[in-house]
Structure 1
Amino acid sequence: MPPHTTTPDLQGRQPAFFYGWVVVAAAFATTFVGFGSAYTFSAFVGSLQTEFAASRGSVSLVFSLAGFLYFGLGVLSGPLADRWGARRLVMAGMVLTGAGLALAGLARTLGQVYAAYALGVGLGVGLAYVPALGTIQRWFARRRGFASGLAVSGIGVGTLVMPPLASFLIAEWGWRTAYLLLGALALVVGVGMAVLIADDPRARGLLPDGDLSPTSSSGNAALPASEGYSVMQALKTPRFAGLYAACLVSSFGLFVPFVHLMPYALDHGVAQASAGLLLGAIGVGSTAGRFMLGNLADRMGRQPALLLMYAGMAASMLVWVMSSGAAGLAVFALAFGVFYGGYVALLPALVADYFGGRSIGAIIGVLYTAVALGTLVGPSAAGFVFDFTHSYTLVIAASILGNLAAAGIVLAISRLKAR
């Protein structure tokens, strides 16, 4: 019988290698390509300002539009993945990402950059991200936080590798050729790895975590794809309302560093080469956070760990607002990356803990519309505030308050659960 039609062998021998780790590797590669390409944008800000004689706010809006689409589209791509399977959606997303980057390199007006980058990268990452993450939640139960952390560590490694690569390509061949080369990379690596994604372990005769029987996944729930909350049931719960509010208020400042940290450093006299490495430092911290904190959260509980992530991001922002040199900004970038990486790894796993596997893609997609709204407003508003005040102090202060408010909301959820 073909592997995709078998049923779980509950009494059989545990496979020497669990295919779930292949799915994790595929999700890692697609997040590496998708978000790594998106987070190169900071390296292009100066070139786009010069090329099109544009303000920092109007250029920043390019990233905000893309971010709004790639988080907001999850509300559609999640349910589609639950119904049709993730593989085709992730492959299509990688094709769009590559095409959008290439077309941005051919743009002759800033409006064309908006269209190419926002529609290509925004729609492309939006089609790929939530389906890839939703699939991971079905393949793992006890190690769900660790597996999610490994998968989304592709974002951290992409942030480490891709912005310095983009800076090098821009310096050597110009921003247009840089976008063309990044587009080719997205097509080759992203589509090639997306082929390996599989939707449910039971379709291959396996159980979550490679277990031999359903009872061996006790602890964090190992719900089959058919069990758990529907989307409407989840939306009516206080847990979902709290998570949505926390994501919304924190997201206004969450992606400001990815657009404005490098310009901030250059404004304060940091050398171009050193400024380009700051986003890489966020990537280093983010990768470490996804590995270490995702695993830690499996032990201490993912809900208190999420509160810790919000508090940590707020504390790291205090370092940013007090720093003007390369050393202080590097400390901020590493610390922010650790807690940001832990946050990204925890959120999908916590949603699966709360609501099960039945509609996991759709529920994550609805939740990420909160992140989409914050991403649409935050980076572009930060650019316009800078154009008006020539300072990022108000922007960073607002980011600190947003993360503290999110931590308070998560604390309220935990107390509600206890009662």
Structure 2
Amino acid sequence: MAKAKRARSTAPPDGGWGWMIVVGCFLVTICTRAVTRCISIFFVEFQTYFTQDYAQTAWIHSIVDCMTMLCAPLGSVVSNHLSCQVGIMLGGLLASTGLILGSFATSLKHLYLTLGVVTGLGFALCYSPAIAMVGKYFSRRKALAYGIAMSGSGIGTFVLAPVVQLLIEQFSWRGALLILGGFVLNLCVCGALMRPITLKEDHTTPEQNHVCRTQTRDFKRVSPCTTLTNKWVQTCLCCSLQQEYSFLLMSDFVVLAVSVLFMAYGCSPLFVYLVPYALSVGVSHQQAAFLMSILGVIDIIGNITFGWLTDRRCLKNYRYVCYLFAVGLDGLCYLCLPMLQSLPLLVPFSCTFGYFDGAYVTLIPVVTAEIVGTTSLSSALGVVYFLHAVPYLVSPPIAGWLVDATGSYTAAFLLCGFSMIFSSVLLGFARLVKKMRKTQLRFLAKESDPKLQLWTNGSVAYSVARGLDQKDEGSVAMAVPGYNPT
């Protein structure tokens, strides 16, 4: 399949076709994250039809979520080496195929493979490339654009949940899965909207990759079976991957990756155990479901409003701090949750947790872009979402084990809260150490030579005056034999 023609631009346009990219990413989050959440509505139907317990049935949702995050780097590789359009269209076809084949399932293992693995892999090919495209089209309004795009998860869940329940009642779970398979094909339409763009900092990378591919093709024509050709191909492939994932050696990104593991562990169990906890403290079924609705709606508000706020001039340079603030406050909400044992107290908790959950989800791609830049954003987001996979898979079972062992939800909630607070503190401590090192280098530079200047990245460079002095010394040394400037 031929690559799409790339639009040329020296800087992110911050508008124009960029808003269509936001719309496309908004629809992608509906078709991936919202549909994944709505799979839980099928649980009772699967349990009744296949006569299995909750633990075995719950693996369907866990496999879909885990595959979506686990294979996110694969989505980045496909979009980088083919195009974002091809990757999302291919993912839409795979996801739709998985849902359609799942409607013919005769056992839970069949659903694990089709609805879990195939559909999850299709979602992975769509999710991170679509999010990365928003970062390429926006700079000044990046947080707002991400807020609108990421709100598709909450809005989609709010709209699709009753629709899916109605489809199950009218057409059974098989018919509902079949219709969802057709709905997910809209990912192909979303992929068509993702028009590639080449920014100023991207101009060198495609040319280098093109030269590498051309040289490899020429070598294959000359001697397709020689050892020299194989070594050359391996060398070019290693160079390409090294350029694509060079950010993995950045200390800032390593710290972000470790913090994401702890953050992902903490954020997942609440969506599983909020309703059971509310029921355990005497809240009715309808009121417990209402708490989840509040959480979803406020999450949407947090996506959009926090993105708009952090795009303001007063906060634009402090998006990193805002991200830490949002993650840390969600951790504090967790620590307070065991003391909230009535509906009037749980409602403010749902509002606060939901708002800051939407806030930091919006800022994850923004913070990642600040660390690695827009050129490597797609690959970096693939790695970041890949790191969500294992915590998403293991944190709900660990929390359930703690509930069974202690007889209460306190230990599970405290562990999640401290995990999110540690994630925030780790990033804050790393940023503080970096600033202290910069200050120390600046001070040492001034002490050693007042003519030395320190650039913003912390590296020491000679000033223009220093360079002129060296030239003068060199000319004097040439004119006067034996001259020593020391």
- The alignment's TM-score, normalised by the length of structure 1, stands at 0.83
- 8 Å CA contact retained: 1:144, 1:298: yes
- 8 Å CA contact retained: 2:90, 2:125: yes
In 1, distance between residues paired with 2:106 and 2:122? 22
Structure 2: which amino acid aligns with 1:377?
A: V
In 2, distance between residues paired with 1:371 and 1:130? 12
- How far 1:19 moved relative to its partner? 0.4
When residues 129 and 169 of structure 1 are mapped into structure 2, their CA distance, relative to the original with a 3 A threshold, is same
- 8 Å CA contact retained: 2:14, 2:138: no
Q: Does structure 1 residue 68 correspond to structure 2 residue 81?
A: no
Q: For structure 1, which segment, 392-401 or 360-369, has the greater mean C-alpha deviation from structure 2 after superposition?
A: 392-401
- How far 1:5 moved relative to its partner? 6.0
In 2, distance between residues paired with 1:158 and 1:95? 20
SS in 1 for 2:194: coil
- How far 1:85 moved relative to its partner? 1.5
Structure 2 unmatched ranges of 5 or more? 206-241, 437-486
In 1, distance between residues paired with 2:157 and 2:343? 18
The equivalent of 1:373 in structure 2 is 390
Q: Does structure 1 residue 416 correspond to structure 2 residue 429?
A: no
When residues 384 and 88 of structure 1 are mapped into structure 2, their CA distance, relative to the original with a 3 A threshold, is farther
Offset from partner CA, 1:109-151 (integer Å, 9 cap, x none):
2222222221133112111111001111111111111111111
The equivalent of 1:218 in structure 2 is none
- How far 1:166 moved relative to its partner? 2.9
When residues 416 and 234 of structure 1 are mapped into structure 2, their CA distance, relative to the original with a 3 A threshold, is farther
Matched residues, number: 394
The equivalent of 2:230 in structure 1 is none
User: Mapping of 1:41-120 within 5 angstroms?
Assistant: 41-120=39-118
Offset from partner CA, 1:217-243 (integer Å, 9 cap, x none):
xxxxxx54757x944431112211111
The equivalent of 1:211 in structure 2 is none
The equivalent of 1:217 in structure 2 is none
In 2, distance between residues paired with 1:80 and 1:114? 24
Match of 1:151 among 145, 149, 152: 149
Q: Does structure 1 residue 344 correspond to structure 2 residue 361?
A: yes
The equivalent of 1:219 in structure 2 is none
Structure 1: which amino acid aligns with 2:385?
A: Y
When residues 407 and 5 of structure 1 are mapped into structure 2, their CA distance, relative to the original with a 3 A threshold, is closer
- 8 Å CA contact retained: 1:75, 1:365: yes
In 2, distance between residues paired with 1:259 and 1:97? 24
User: Mapping of 1:171-182 within 5 angstroms?
Assistant: 171-182=169-180
- How far 1:155 moved relative to its partner? 1.3
Offset from partner CA, 1:317-359 (integer Å, 9 cap, x none):
3454445555554443333222121122111111111111222
Structure 2: which amino acid aligns with 1:283?
A: G
Offset from partner CA, 1:135-179 (integer Å, 9 cap, x none):
111111111111111111111212322233334444555444333
Q: For structure 1, which segment, 191-200 or 348-357, has the greater mean C-alpha deviation from structure 2 after superposition?
A: 191-200
Match of 1:332 among 334, 349, 358: 349
Q: Does structure 1 residue 163 correspond to structure 2 residue 176?
A: no
In 1, distance between residues paired with 2:343 and 2:181? 31
When residues 190 and 275 of structure 1 are mapped into structure 2, their CA distance, relative to the original with a 3 A threshold, is farther
Name the % identity. 27
User: Relative CO higher for 1 or 2, CA cutoff 8 Å, sep ≥ 6?
Assistant: 1
The equivalent of 1:233 in structure 2 is 246
In 2, distance between residues paired with 1:159 and 1:401? 28
SS in 2 for 1:415: helix
- 8 Å CA contact retained: 2:20, 2:193: yes
SS in 1 for 2:375: coil
The equivalent of 2:310 in structure 1 is 297
- How far 1:87 moved relative to its partner? 1.2
When residues 166 and 406 of structure 1 are mapped into structure 2, their CA distance, relative to the original with a 3 A threshold, is same
Q: Does structure 1 residue 355 correspond to structure 2 residue 372?
A: yes
The equivalent of 1:21 in structure 2 is 19
- How far 1:37 moved relative to its partner? 0.5
In 2, distance between residues paired with 1:115 and 1:255? 23
In 2, distance between residues paired with 1:325 and 1:171? 33
When residues 52 and 134 of structure 1 are mapped into structure 2, their CA distance, relative to the original with a 3 A threshold, is same
- 8 Å CA contact retained: 1:102, 1:183: yes
SS in 2 for 1:40: helix
In 1, distance between residues paired with 2:166 and 2:285? 11
When residues 402 and 6 of structure 1 are mapped into structure 2, their CA distance, relative to the original with a 3 A threshold, is closer
Higher Cα radius of gyration? 2
- 8 Å CA contact retained: 2:403, 2:411: no
Structure 2: which amino acid aligns with 1:246?
A: S
- How far 1:63 moved relative to its partner? 2.0
When residues 94 and 261 of structure 1 are mapped into structure 2, their CA distance, relative to the original with a 3 A threshold, is farther
- How far 1:277 moved relative to its partner? 4.5
- 8 Å CA contact retained: 1:63, 1:379: no
Offset from partner CA, 1:20-50 (integer Å, 9 cap, x none):
0001100100111111110113333344344
User: Mapping of 1:267-346 within 5 angstroms?
Assistant: 274-299=287-312, 300=315, 301-318=318-335, 320-323=337-340, 328-346=345-363
- 8 Å CA contact retained: 1:28, 1:153: yes
Q: Does structure 1 residue 401 correspond to structure 2 residue 414?
A: no
- 8 Å CA contact retained: 2:63, 2:120: yes
The equivalent of 2:188 in structure 1 is 191
SS in 2 for 1:39: helix
The equivalent of 2:132 in structure 1 is 134
- 8 Å CA contact retained: 2:88, 2:190: no
